[in-house]
Structure 1
Amino acid sequence: MPSARPYLRPTRRTLLIGAGAGAAAVAAPGLTGVAAARGSDVDTVLEWYDVTAATIGVITGPLQVNSSRTWAIAWIAAWRAVTRARGGAPADAALAGAVHEALATLVPARTAELDAALAATLDRLGPAAAVGAAVESGRAAARDVLTERAGDGLDLASVNRPFTPPAPAPGVWQPTPPGFAAAVQAGQGDGRPFLIDDVRAYLPGPPPALDSARYARDLAESRAVGAVESSRRTDRQTDVARFWAQTSLNGYTGALRAAVTSGARVRRVALVALFHAATVDAQIVTYAAKYRDLRWRPVTAIRTETIAPDPAWTPLITTPAHPEYPSGHTTYAGAAETALRTLAGPPAGPVALTSPTAAGVTLTYRDWRELTRDNIDARVWSGIHFRHTDEVGAAVGRRVAAAGLAHWDGRPL
């Protein structure tokens, strides 16, 4: 198996040159808008960030880690290509060539739009021989990374392999109402990470025992504030819950964009690459734990448990079709927070985000930790997780990302 780390060799000192986060996030434009961009004031990093976001689009949970992998491969290739270029137009061309090659290979249905975006970039950069050579260098970098990541177990079929639920028992996960859908992402925990070596080293301990005070407290909270008709949940809490019902990858695309708005080109490209590498690793770890512990969801516990069973209880948000512990959303949030704090520093200004699952709601954040806080609360207010599960997920994500980022350049951060 090829090493996961050789292409992550530029030092952290190089990465941090020109560090500084941007201000407010803006919605990523569609590819048609990107392809129409002209003028010397176009920022090629943001241009191809938005191309990548538009290529991935709005996704569902079963597509998330595969889509995160696409981001990571494309921007690791861009990082390699940019560090080999001499700056200026050739570096921009190398970036565009790398991202285009990776995305066209992994999302072939978008090739026409990607070709148009690349043509727009090259038209702006001009016909110099160095520009053409840099595009080819970027394409070669992408092919190298694609080869190295072949067979990593993060393709859709491997991630979403069939899973047979265990026999019903107290605490044990079962398909959940209303659709009682088959489990998804059962193979995700077997994927090959980008930055860490041993997934097992980052697995959390087991969830609280069913006869523990912590479990009883969390069960009562989820029952009270997570019900679809809850009188305890405020309007703001409902908005936050619905906002973060989107996939984490979509939710953090605007936040990461705010962090790459300004600074040295190589630092910004590396930030995108490392952010997605770290969050992929966190997603692998959390699903390894989910399918190890097979913990039941609140809806199953509340409807069937001997403690005041309520067969009609329904959560605010439909329960995802996979085990409960730990939370995938909060694991991602913890990893994202760590990557952003470590590599970008605090936001330079308020970061305003919107969500495809909460029309008309805008949430504004001034610290990366605030997104993690909202993710922890949101999954309880949604009625789909227990609070301890969310807190453990965030801790796992932070630990995975911190270890991965320390590992990639061979010394502690």
Structure 2
Amino acid sequence: MRIVKQSLTILLILGCQLGQAQNKKRATYPDYLQPDHAVNTVTMVMVHDVVSPPVAARYYAYCTLGAYDIGAANNKKLPALNTFIKAYAGNSSLANIKAKYDYKIAAYYSILETAKLLLPSGFMLKDDQDAFIEILQKTKVPQDIITNSVKVAEDASAAVITFSKQDHYSQLSALQRYTPLKNEGSWYPTPPMYMEAVEPNWKTIRTLVIDTATQYKPKPLIPFSKDSTSAFYAQVKDVYNASKHLTPEQINQALFWDCNPFAVTTSGHMAIGYKKISPGGHWMHIAGLVSQKANLGFDESVMVITLTGTTLMDAFISCWEEKFTSNRIRPETFINRYIDVKWQPILQTPPFPEYTSGHAVISNAAAEVLTYLLGDKFAYTDNTEIPFGSGQRDFTSFRQAAAEASMSRFYGGIHYMQSIDNGNDQGKRVAAGIIEKIKKAGITPLHKN
């Protein structure tokens, strides 16, 4: 297990170096204190654990809250968490610490500490914490500062863990298991592994910023029909026909945004699994990359990463509520049953209902929040997928990236256009609600234009 983690960490370091190469300026704090490095380290444990997309978003959100809390206790320009995280009571102990400590060290360490306590294989992060401490010692940080900073990080993480235990996650296993419906228009497990539905009760998880899981319901579905003259059949044929005439660029887009933690390929009787980053993980890495490109300070970087994580968590809850309410059949299932029994999409169909597109919802939500913080014309090269087997792509804005991520699912053959269009709208409305609340809390854009 440790050998696997070491090899993945090497790839991650390469990805971080590529991201840093875009910056002509350097941050005013040491490289080892880049907040996104801690997030990237957490990602590798999630990849190891094959964490599902909605669960990964939950982990990212909670892992960053302690870092933000510590930052807000030391920088009055950062509004307190409880001004926009609706159920967070606040951690008053952080404002009353007498011992001298480095809050940046504490914030960085808390990301690892919270993940260590939350993730199934979180114990693997102990080695990363020890390595971080060793770096601090080699750079002559006084031992009392290190010790006090770690204690502050542990206290902040403990408060976050207590908060996380109130979101109903621990109750999911006690809820009724999901059984696929026999209705012709309902979702059913798909090849090659016919996996059971992922997190069918995710709508019961407490949201962080938006009011409820149902606050941003998408537009109604086109009625299911096998009639070849119906609107539903027409959108199925659009997926089918497009798959026959994909350009190399469209295929590249589909593969770049795949982000499938469940990817499996078969050879004869053998199934081979590929561990990849989750869709939310991709956007968390983008948030870290652009924070460095914008040469943000430590506190601003933590804020960008934290707001991206909380947005992703709420967007997934909103999307998953609709998925298991509408329970829409996937293109692969319909096409194999009624059009072409041998047809396969170029992407593996994920194990949950079709409507709305998760990529569309969470990509647009994250992109809108990042646009609010960093501007509509923030150009960047996304090389965050290189460690996971993909190349890099250039974008002129976060909205352009979100639009491409959404369309990639149509090109991949796993979503209808209605799911993408309405998912785009749903994600933007989730983001609008979040932006309204963080503006009210006093979080203002970081860009000048």
Superposed pair shares fold, TM > 0.5:
yes
1:64 aligns with 2:53: yes
In structure 1, the residue corresponding to 2:383 is in which secondary structure? strand
SS of the residue aligned with 2:161?
helix
CA apart distance, 1:68: 2.1
- Secondary structure (helix, strand or coil) at the match of 1:71 reads helix
Separation in 1 of the partners of 2:38 and 2:240?
A: 42
1:131 Cα shift?
5.2
Query: Does the CA-based 8 Å contact 1:243-1:358 persist in structure 2?
Result: no
| CA 90–380 in structure 1, closer or farther in 2 if over 3 Å, else same | same
1:92 to 104, 108, 112: 104
Out of 84-93 and 95-104, give the one that drifted further.
84-93
Question: Is contact 1:183-1:322 (8 Å) kept?
Answer: yes
**Between 200-209 and 343-352, the greater mean CA deviation after superposition:** 343-352
1:111 is matched with 126
Partner of 2:391: 361
State the Cα distance separating 1:245 from its structure 2 match.
Answer: 1.0
Q: Which residue matches 2:13?
A: 29
Structure 1 CA distance for aligned equivalents of residues 110 and 101 of structure 2: 14
Counterpart residue identity of residue 233, structure 1: L
Shift of 1:150: 0.7
Alignment match, 1:345: 375
Structure 1 residue 134: Cα displacement = 3.6
Q: Hey, what's the Cα distance between the residues in 2 that align with 1:124 and 1:162?
A: 52
Match of 1:8 in 2: none
* Match status 1:239 vs 2:269: no
**2:41 is matched with which residue?**
54
The answer on whether the counterparts of 1:75 and 1:99 sit within 8 Å (CA) in structure 2 is yes
Whichever residue aligns with residue 314 of structure 1, its letter is Q
Q: Given the alignment, which residue of 182, 189, 194 partners 2:208?
A: 194
**Contact preservation (8 Å) 1:331, 1:395:** yes
Deviation at 1:352, TM superposition (A): 2.9
Counterpart position of 1:137: 152
In 1: Cα distance, 2:248 partner to 2:384 partner: 17
**CA distances 1:227-271 after superposition (whole Å, capped 9, x unpaired):** xxx2x1011111111111113123223321222112232222111
Gap change, CA 1:253 and 1:160, over 3 Å in 2: farther
Deviates more, 1:173-182 or 1:366-375: 173-182
TM superposition shift of 1:129: 4.4
Give the C-alpha shift of residue 51 in structure 1.
2.6
1:144-199 deviation digits (Å, cap 9, x = unpaired): 11101114234696599731011132x22112233322212212222111111211
CA gap of 1:233–1:160, structure 2 versus 1, over 3 A, is farther
Q: CA deviation at 1:217?
A: 3.6
Alignment of 1:177-216 (within 5 A): 177-210=191-224, 214-216=231-233
Q: Give the residue type in structure 2 aligned to 1:279.
A: L
RMSD: 3.2
CA distance 1:395–1:86, shift in 2 (3 Å): closer
Do 2:38 and 2:108's aligned partners in 1 also have CA atoms closer than 8 Å?
A: no
**Mapped partners of 2:50, 2:383: distance in 1:** 19
TM-score normalised by the chain length of structure 1 = 0.81
Per-residue deviation at 1:407? 2.2
More deviation in 394-403 or 287-296? 394-403
Report the AA paired with residue 237 of structure 2.
A
Please state whether the residue corresponding to 1:199 is helix, strand or coil. coil
For residues 348-393 of structure 1, the C-alpha deviation after alignment (integer angstroms, 9 at most, x for no partner) is 5432325369846321112001111111211011111001101111
Find the residue that maps to 2:394 and give its secondary structure: strand
Give the structure 2 partner of residue 5 of structure 1. none
Q: Is the 8 A contact 2:14 2:387 kept in 1?
A: no
The one-letter amino acid paired with 1:254 is H
Are residues 193 and 125 of structure 1, via their aligned partners in 2, closer, same or farther at CA, if it must alter by over 3 Å? Answer: farther
Report the Cα distance in structure 1 between the residues aligned to 2:168 and 2:367, rounded to whole angstroms: 26
Among 274, 298, 322, the residue aligned to 2:331: 298
The answer (yes or no) to whether the contact 1:191–1:284 under 8 Å persists in 2 is yes
Q: What SS does the corresponding residue of 1:143 show, helix, strand or coil?
A: helix
**Cα pair 1:330 1:376 within 8 Å, conserved:** yes
Query: For residues 181 and 99 of structure 1, do their structure 2 counterparts lie closer, same or farther at Cα, with a shift above 3 Å needed?
Result: closer
The superposition leaves residues 110-129 of structure 1 with CA deviations (integer Å, 9 ceiling, x where unpaired) of: 22222222332354361174
Once the two structures are overlaid, the 10-residue window that deviates more, 61-70 or 74-83, is 61-70
State whether residues 162 and 183 of structure 1, in contact with CA within 8 Å, keep that contact through their aligned partners in structure 2: no
Secondary structure at the residue paired with 2:139? helix
CA distance 1:118–1:193, shift in 2 (3 Å): farther
Distance 2:143 2:124 in 1: 30
Aligned equivalents of 2:105 and 2:392: distance in 1?
Answer: 35
Deviation at 1:411, TM superposition (A): 5.9
1:235-274 matched pairs, under 5 angstroms:
235-246=248-259, 247-261=278-292, 262-274=295-307
**Match of residue 381 from structure 1:** 411
Q: Partner of 2:359 in structure 1?
A: 329
Q: From the superposition, tell whether residues 401 and 298 of structure 1 become closer, same or farther in structure 2 (CA, over 3 Å).
A: same
Task: Determine if contact 2:364/2:403 at 8 Å carries over to the other structure.
Answer: no
- 2-structure distance, mates of 1:316, 1:44: 39
Alignment partners' CA distance in 2, 1:32 and 1:209: 46
Residue 77 of structure 1 pairs with residue 66 of structure 2: yes
Q: Is the contact between residue 288 and residue 301 of structure 2 (CA under 8 Å) also seen in structure 1?
A: no
2:393 is paired with a residue whose SS is strand
Uncovered stretches (5+) of structure 1, i.e. residues with no partner: 1-26, 34-39
Number of aligned pairs?
Answer: 373
Amino acid corresponding to residue 288 of structure 1 in structure 2? E
Q: Which amino acid aligns with 1:140?
A: D
Q: Could you tell me whether the CA contact under 8 Å between 1:334 and 1:394 is conserved in 2?
A: yes
C-alpha distance in structure 2 between counterparts of 1:156 and 1:117, whole Å:
35
1:124 to 2:143 alignment: no
Q: Find the aligned partners of 1:150 and 1:85 in 2 and give their Cα distance.
A: 26
SS of residue paired to 2:13: coil
Q: Give CA-to-partner distance per residue, 1:89-148, whole Å, 9 cap, x none.
A: 722122123223212212223222222223323543611745543432232111111101
Task: Tell me which residue corresponds to 2:422.
Answer: 392
TM-score with structure 2 setting the length: 0.74
The answer for unaligned runs of 5 or more in structure 2 is 1-10, 18-27, 77-99, 260-277, 445-449
Instruction: Say if 2:256 and 2:390, in contact at 8 Å, map to a contact too.
Output: no
Residue 273 of structure 1 aligns with an amino acid whose one-letter code is: T
